[in-house]
A = this chain, B = another copy of it.
Amino acid sequence: MFLREAVYHRPKQNFAYAADRQTLHLRVRAKRGDLVRADAIVGDKYAWERTAASVPMRLFASDELFDYWETAVVPPYRRLRYAFKLTAEDDTVYLTEKGFADRLAPNPDEFFDFPYINPVDVFAPPSWVKDAVFYQIFPERFANGDPSLDPEDVQPWGGEPTPRNFFGGDLKGVRDHLDHLERLGVNAIYFTPVFEATTNHKYDTTDYMKVDPHFGTNEDLKALVEECHGRGIRVVLDAVFNHAGKTFPPFVDVLEKGAESEYAGWFHVREFPLRIEDGIPTYETFAFEPIMPKLNTEHADVKKYLLDVARYWVEEIGIDGWRLDVANEVDHAFWREFRQTVKAANPEAYILGEIWHDSMMWLQGDQFDAVMNYPFTNAVLDFFAKDSIDAAGFANAIGGQLAAYPQTVTEAAFNLLDSHDTARLLTLCGGSEKRMKLAALFQLTYPGVPCIYYGDEVGMAGGGDPGCRGCMVWDEAGQNAGLLRFYSETIALRRTYGAFRDADIAFLQAERGSGTLVYERRGTDGSRFIVAMNAGVLPAEVSASADSRSWQDAYSGEP
């Protein structure tokens, strides 16, 4: 007998989805350890007898409570009726849409149904994304390449970052240091906002059609993008469409004219005139931040304006995608139109939402290609940085994440370990370079798009905002050369071996109470890598059975 209550399957989302235009992935969940075998009974609903087949499933992930079984099926006519045969030591039960049954019904009317693989509905991120290694740049703090653009009150490079000070970083600075990025091995940049705004972080946009004058001009950005492309580096900008800034002209107009403003409908105003009462604005904002009025993305004029913005930077400036700020507070309907607009301008543009929570509803093919994968971040930090979970807990957290999304989503997820919104990785690791390296090693050998926050690679530390937004250290004496070498070597490994980018991961050793983790990465090309690490405070001996004598050290190439 196995536990019926633990079994779960519901068509679509992460349990039955088109992995490509021909292939369906089917998954079923059961209590951990309950099943010795699972099979999918599949066929075409209009030709059942001729097409019915039983397909074995594999246990592809586990978390604390559950095992997840999966198989891939290519339906002969793009449609699939299916059931599951679940086998425990002493029990075999069939699962259909109608529930459990001891024997299979003679016809598949009450089986689960995947009605049709329609290409337009298939989740399909740009092909380059799976192979990308991102580098996040906070432009005001990366490099000051043109002091003539500096704000009036600019501080000397390398000073203490505060919420409001400026250090003069600009686009020219980025261009001057592209060699550093090439040497590091990254092939994509995510820039936090570059449009005109009043703050150093630029999340309070004044003009969505103009590069901030302290950073440069639209032409400067275009030239930077072109140079990046020449070096094989893609460029993604930050789209702050949830809210504008207090200097955004339509908002200024509403501030001045109230309900009479022609832009009154562009915002969510609870009460005119706009004001702040007991710390709460009478208009909706990001959080309760008065300088960030929420845009009414259901309003036709607002939609047109923002979609024109989305199109302009892709089409005219040549950027390769958008990172969407506070993406989950904007309506789904807007993002669907946004996707159509952006993909029409460049089908290979990457659409990356900022969502810190469960994101399945944005990752079904009609909205985003990926989200910033903070659940991944948290699991890695809990294990490698904070030592607050053991190897088993970590493997369970990762297993749960693999199961929570389609494989295609996992392979395109944006796996960051820190950002401008968190403390820096080295600081989160309590200053331990060893822990930091293990965390980064996991990140760089895990499916999904790794992103390195500028400066982490040279050993920069820093707490939460504003501490994490310090000036990039360019003086080699202040850089950690060993860490930089580690990053470039590990990025090179990832970019060399497809197995580190493919989805298949198996935890070979992840025990309760242990800090020792051993996992195998398997490539669709048949290659296999074993990664062993000890995140504990004690030395540990790792043993993993390698079933062949042909294993090599991936770093050195030696046996």
Residues of chain A touching chain B, judged by Cβ–Cβ distance below 8 Å, are 3-6, 8, 10-13, 31, 46-47, 64-66, 77-79, 97, 99, 109-110, 112-113, 115-116, 118-121, 284, 287-288, 297-298, 328-334, 336, 355-358, 360-361, 364, 366, 378
In Å, the complex CA distance between A61 and B426 comes to 50
In Å, the complex CA distance between A309 and B79 comes to 27
The 3 closest A-B pairs by CB, nearest first: A118-B331, A115-B328, A5-B6
Residues of B within 8 A of A116 (CB): 328-331
Tallying the copies of this chain within the complex gives: 2
Contacting pair B97 A357 (CB below 8 A): yes
The closest CB in chain B to the CB of A9 belongs to B358
Residues of B within 8 A of A5 (CB): 3, 5-6, 31, 65-66
Query: With A79-B329, A97-B358, A120-B331 given, can you name 12 additional A-B contacts, CB distance below 8 Å?
Result: A5-B65, A6-B6, A8-B8, A11-B357, A11-B361, A12-B360, A46-B287, A113-B356, A118-B298, A120-B333, A121-B331, A336-B366
In Å, the complex CA distance between A13 and B64 comes to 25
Contacting pair A118 B3 (CB below 8 A): no
Asked if A288 meets B46 with Cβ closer than 8 Å, knowing A64-B99, A329-B115, the reply is yes
In Å, the complex CA distance between A421 and B194 comes to 59
Residues of B within 8 A of A77 (CB): 284
In Å, the complex CA distance between A497 and B69 comes to 48
From the candidates B8, B120, B358, B366, name the one contacting A11 in the complex (CB within 8 A): B358
Residues of B within 8 A of A97 (CB): 357-358
Can you give 26 contacting A-B residue pairs, CB < 8 Å? A3-B3, A3-B5, A5-B5, A5-B6, A5-B31, A5-B66, A10-B360, A11-B357, A11-B358, A46-B288, A64-B99, A79-B329, A97-B357, A109-B356, A110-B378, A113-B328, A113-B357, A115-B328, A115-B357, A116-B329, A116-B330, A118-B331, A118-B333, A120-B298, A120-B333, A120-B334
In Å, the complex CA distance between A451 and B8 comes to 32
Residues of B within 8 A of A11 (CB): 357-358, 361
Contacting pair B330 A118 (CB below 8 A): yes
In Å, the complex CA distance between A378 and B357 comes to 37
The closest CB in chain B to the CB of A328 belongs to B115
The closest CB in chain B to the CB of A63 belongs to B99
From the candidates B78, B121, B329, B357, name the one contacting A332 in the complex (CB within 8 A): B121
The closest CB in chain B to the CB of A34 belongs to B5
Contacting pair B4 A65 (CB below 8 A): yes
Contacting pair A284 B78 (CB below 8 A): yes
Residues of B within 8 A of A12 (CB): 360-361
Q: How far is the CB of A398 from chain B (nearest CB, A)?
A: 14
Q: How far is the CB of A8 from chain B (nearest CB, A)?
A: 7
In Å, the complex CA distance between A165 and B552 comes to 75
Residues of B within 8 A of A78 (CB): 284
Residues of B within 8 A of A333 (CB): 118, 120-121, 366
In Å, the complex CA distance between A361 and B15 comes to 13
Residues of B within 8 A of A119 (CB): 298, 331
In Å, the complex CA distance between A366 and B332 comes to 9
Contacting pair A113 B288 (CB below 8 A): no
In Å, the complex CA distance between A330 and B97 comes to 21
Residues of B within 8 A of A329 (CB): 79, 115-116
Residues of B within 8 A of A331 (CB): 116, 118-121
Q: How far is the CB of A39 from chain B (nearest CB, A)?
A: 21
Q: How far is the CB of A261 from chain B (nearest CB, A)?
A: 21
Residues of B within 8 A of A361 (CB): 11-13, 364
Residues of B within 8 A of A332 (CB): 118, 120-121, 366
Q: How far is the CB of A221 from chain B (nearest CB, A)?
A: 30
In Å, the complex CA distance between A355 and B31 comes to 31
From the candidates B31, B113, B334, name the one contacting A358 in the complex (CB within 8 A): B113
